[in-house]
Amino acid sequence: MGGEEKPLRQIAEAFKGLSTIIESQNLDVDVDVAAFSRACSLVSVLFGLLGFAFKFAEMDYVAKVDDLQKASNSIDTLKSMLDQDVEQNTVTKPGSHSRNLLRVKRGLDMVRVLFEQILVAEGNSLRDAASVAYAKVFAPYHGWAIRKAVAAGMYTLPTRSQLLMKLNEREDSARIQMQSYVTSSAAVINYVDGLFLSREIGIDW
């Protein structure tokens, strides 16, 4: 990674942009698939930096963001993407854009909770923060084998200082960017949840 690259800053700015779009409009807000998937693709680097514990999440997340990016060539907005799947009765089918959107949203939520935990944690270990984020967001949807593999992988996580070094951030600058992501991603996650709930599709599947 080049010395000048600031992935954390890019992520924070991209989600601030999305949340501004969402908050500047009323119930008719519509988000471009292209803009959404572009912001989500920036988050992939974080899963990679967390190492073995989140390897499954990285592979799954990257593949599903890639699907949404390809979908953006023919589908303009997240609303129309969901409506298309509803019409075709393919929302919950493996590989559908809607299903992939829900999985990507969980990835964003995992990072949000991770950052929340890092911001209040003391010490140099990320294990507690990552364990809480995994337990809260991913664990309810994973079988015993994956949960066990993730638990083992928690011992291979980078330290807080190693993570910041890989992100080319100092503690103070990292805190600002993490807090920015926590705030703006919450608006984006709530918006995506709302798309599913307003169509009575549910989000726990």
Lowest mean pLDDT among 41-55, 125-139, 180-194: 41-55
CATH number of the domain encompassing residue 52: 1.10.3520.10
Q: How far apart are CA 90 and CA 177, in angstroms?
A: 37
User: Over the chain, what is the mean pLDDT?
Assistant: 94
Structure token pair of residue 42: 């920036």
**Domain tally, the chain:** 1
Task: Flag whether 204 is in a domain.
Answer: no
Give per-residue pLDDT as tens, 57-115.
Answer: 899 999 999 999 999 999 999 999 999 999 999 999 999 999 999 999 999 999 999 99
Task: Flag whether 61 is in a domain.
Answer: yes
Cβ-count burial of 26 within 10 angstroms (0-12 exposed, 13-18 middle, 19+ buried)? exposed
Distances (CA, A) of 148 to 30, 47, 51, 135: 39, 18, 16, 12
Domain limits for position 108? 7-198
**What CA dihedral angle connects 184, 194, 34 and 108, to 10 degrees?**
50
Task: Flag whether 134 is in a domain.
Answer: yes
What's 46's DSSP letter?
H
Task: Flag whether 205 is in a domain.
Answer: no
Task: Flag whether 2 is in a domain.
Answer: no
pTM, rounded to two decimals = 0.95
Task: Flag whether 22 is in a domain.
Answer: yes
Give per-residue pLDDT as tens, 159-195.
Answer: 999 999 999 999 999 999 999 999 999 999 999 999 9
Task: Flag whether 203 is in a domain.
Answer: no
Half-sphere exposure of 75 (CA within 13 A, CB side): 21
Task: Flag whether 1 is in a domain.
Answer: no
